[in-house]
Amino acid sequence: MMMSSLQLAFLDFISPELRASLMFLAGIALVTVILVRHTYRRIGRGRTQLTGGRGAAIESQPRPVNAWDGSFRDATATVERQKVELHEFARDANGLLTSKIAMLEQLIATSGEQIEHMERLLAELREAQQEPYTSGKR
């Protein structure tokens, strides 16, 4: 390969050490470009094989507005979501009923104590009414 006189004149101004370094860097750049192109071609071929040549492997989905938007498209996901909501409702209702039952048991115990106290007071009142009234003199 013959170089023109202009190219030879340009190379004459560069020292041999610098010329060797520049040639080495040019070789590395050339190998890098070839490897990057080869990698991108393999990635593109793999993507085509995954999708069967139909385009992107993962279709873009719109961002959901609320937490359950994405699952509304799938019937099984909707059923599962409803199961979860029903389970949460049952747990809340069970907790509410348990607290009400505990409160009712406490009220029943308190009312039992009050009934016993009232029966004692009634017994004392009947005893006081049956005793003749006695004066303080003997």
Model pLDDT for residues 80-89, shown as the tens digit of each residue: 889 999 999 9
Task: Kindly indicate the confidence band of residue 28, based on its pLDDT and cuts at 50, 70 and 90.
Answer: very high
Unique residue bearing structure tokens 């016993």: 116
Residue 97: Cβ within 10 Å count: 10
Q: What's the chain's Rg over C-alpha atoms? A: 48
Question: Are 49 and 16 members of one domain?
Answer: yes
Same domain? 32 vs 76: no
pLDDT of residue 74: 72
- Decide: 16 and 8 in contact? Cβ < 8 Å: no
Give this prediction's pTM: 0.36
pLDDT reported for residue 112: 94
Q: What does DSSP assign to residue 14? A: S
Residues 39 and 75 in one domain: no
Write out the residue range of the structural domain in which residue 15 sits. Answer: 7-55
Q: Is 132 a residue whose pLDDT tops 90?
A: no
Number of domains within the chain: 2
Contacts of residue 51, defined as CB under 8 A and 6 or more positions apart, other chains included, come to 57
Residue 33 has pLDDT above 90, yes or no: yes
Is residue 78 in a domain? yes
User: What percentage of the chain exceeds 90 in pLDDT?
Assistant: 43
- pLDDT value of position 88: 95
The reply to whether 46 and 81 lie within a common domain is no
Residues 46, 75, single domain; the answer is no
39 and 11 inside one domain: yes
Say which residue, 38 or 16, is predicted with more confidence: 38
What's the CA gap between 43 and 55, in Å, rounded? 13
**Nearest-angstrom CA–CA distance, 24 and 34:** 16
pLDDT of residue 95: 95
